[in-house]
């Protein structure tokens, strides 16, 4: 407790860059300017429930859910391979897996554009096989691909960190008691890895549902997701009140899903990243 003062800089940082902006967003979302000064309104929140915006919300959740699902299906086996006790050069494998994460997120997404565009590398390769060029870019598939590519490590790493901690003796004990490898996976490995799965799902779903760069670059702006909607309100439309209201709604939705996840995680006696 004597070292309490070393936390002061962080507390100042937190107030200026987290609490104050949060308060400002809340403030903008419920006030409007009149000639007599500020007035209170819930009109921005009401507006969000118009079908066009509910559609945006629905699409965001849908794409984020699909991406999270694909990440889970790809990431779990990947994590199992990495966590395999007999794997040689594990560190090299983990490094190879992490290296792309060191590169800037935007660069990686732009790289996909050059791969997928109409005159891009993929279509040139198809051309060699006499297949007419296809539109790979600017559709839902491209957006999901971008999300999966960017967020996959966030699924693999928490699952990996849980799998690697599972006592090898437990697997031998299961075998000893008559379980073949499929039963051992179903009854021992899978239940014990649930905390990692929950962490992974949270860490992929949260950024996926709010991303606006990926749909703008790979979706070509045709796929307005919730992140794009917020971005537009602030940067192009200038409707800070509505933008703030959408942000507040997203914040609440995220807090609710975090709460649900957290509850599960506690029941499973933790072990994830957070």
Partner 1 sequence: MEDQIINLVNISKSYGGSEALKNMNLYIRKNEFLTLLGPSGCGKTTTLRIIGGFETPNSGRVLFEGKDITDVPPHKRRVNTVFQKYALFPHMNVAENIAFGLKIKGIADSDIKEKVKKVLELVNLAGYEKRSVNSLSGGQQQRIAIARAIVNEPEVLLLDEPLGALDLKLRKDMQFELKKIQQHLGITFIYVTHDQEEALTMSDTIVVMKDGLIQQIGTPEDIYNEPKNSFVADFIGESNIVKGKYIEDFKVAFADNIFDCVDTGFGVGEEVDIVIRPEDIKLVDIAEGMLKGKVTSVTFKGVHYEMIIHSMGIDWMVHSTSMEQVDSPVGIKISPDDIHIMKRVI
- Contact between 12 and partner 1 per CB under 8 A: no
Q: Which of 214, 81, 96 is nearest to 147 (CA)?
A: 214
Contact (Cβ atoms closer than 8 angstroms) between residue 137 and residue 220: yes
- CA separation for the pair 46, 40 (Å, rounded): 13
Q: Closer CB to partner 1, residue 71 or residue 188?
A: 188
- Contact between 159 and partner 1 per CB under 8 A: no
Smallest separation (angstroms) from partner 1 to the CB of 184: 9
CB atoms within 10 A of CB 242: 23
- Contact between 186 and partner 1 per CB under 8 A: no
x/- track of binding to partner 1 for residues 206-225 (CB under 8 A): --------------------
Smallest separation (angstroms) from partner 1 to the CB of 180: 6
Q: Closer CB to partner 1, residue 191 or residue 221?
A: 191
- Contact between 173 and partner 1 per CB under 8 A: yes
> Could you tell me which residues are beta bridge partners of residue 34?
37
- Contact between 188 and partner 1 per CB under 8 A: yes
Q: Residue 84 carries which DSSP code?
A: -
Close Cβ partners of 107 (under 8 Å, ≥ 6 residues apart): none
- CA separation for the pair 16, 13 (Å, rounded): 5
- From its phi and psi, is residue 130 left (phi > 0), alpha (psi between -120 and 50) or beta? left
Total residues in contact with partner 1, by rule CB under 8 A: 19
Window of 65-73, 149-157, 163-171, 200-208 that interacts with partner 1 by CB under 8 A = 163-171
- Contact between 187 and partner 1 per CB under 8 A: yes
Q: Closer CB to partner 1, residue 127 or residue 270?
A: 270
- Contact between 135 and partner 1 per CB under 8 A: no
- Contact between 179 and partner 1 per CB under 8 A: yes
State both tokens at 124.
Answer: 């040139």
Q: Closer CB to partner 1, residue 196 or residue 243?
A: 196
- Contact between 174 and partner 1 per CB under 8 A: yes
Give the ranges where the chain is alpha helix by DSSP (H): 8-14, 20-29, 43-48, 51-83, 90-102, 105-116, 121-128, 140-163, 168-176, 181-184, 190-210, 213-218, 226-232, 240-267
- Contact between 89 and partner 1 per CB under 8 A: no
Residues 250-269 that bind partner 1 (CB under 8 A): 268-269
Q: Residue 40 carries which DSSP code?
A: E
Q: Which residues bind partner 1 (CB under 8 A)?
A: 167, 169-170, 172-180, 183, 187-188, 191-192, 268-269
């Amino acid at each position: 407790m004597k070292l309490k003062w070393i936390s002061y800089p962080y507390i100042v940082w937190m107030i200026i860059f987290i609490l104050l902006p949060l308060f400002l967003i809340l403030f903008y979302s419920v006030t409007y300017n009149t000639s007599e000064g500020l007035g209170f309104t819930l009109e921005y929140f009401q507006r969000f429930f118009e079908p066009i915006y509910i559609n945006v919300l629905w699409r965001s959740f849908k794409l984020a859910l699909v991406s999270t699902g694909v990440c889970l299906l790809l990431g779990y086996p990947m994590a199992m391979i990495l966590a395999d006790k007999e794997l040689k050069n594990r560190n090299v494998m983990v490094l190879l897996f992490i290296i792309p994460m060191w590169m800037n997120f935007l660069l990686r997404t732009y790289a996909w554009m050059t791969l997928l565009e109409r005159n891009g590398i993929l279509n040139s390769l198809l051309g060699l096989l006499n297949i007419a060029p296809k539109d790979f870019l600017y559709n839902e598939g491209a957006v999901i691909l971008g999300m999966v590519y960017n967020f996959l490590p966030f699924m693999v790493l928490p699952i990996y960190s849980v799998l690697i901690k599972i006592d090898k003796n437990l697997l031998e004990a299961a075998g000893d008691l008559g379980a073949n490898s499929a039963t051992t996976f179903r009854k021992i490995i899978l239940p014990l890895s649930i905390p990692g799965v929950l962490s992974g799902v949270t860490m992929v779903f949260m950024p996926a549902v709010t991303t606006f760069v990926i749909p703008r670059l790979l979706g070509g702006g045709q796929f307005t997701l919730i992140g794009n909607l917020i971005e537009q309100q602030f940067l192009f439309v200038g409707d800070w009140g509505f933008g703030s209201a959408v942000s507040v709604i997203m914040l609440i939705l995220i807090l609710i899903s975090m709460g649900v996840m957290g509850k599960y995680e506690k029941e499973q006696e933790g072990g994830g990243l957070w």
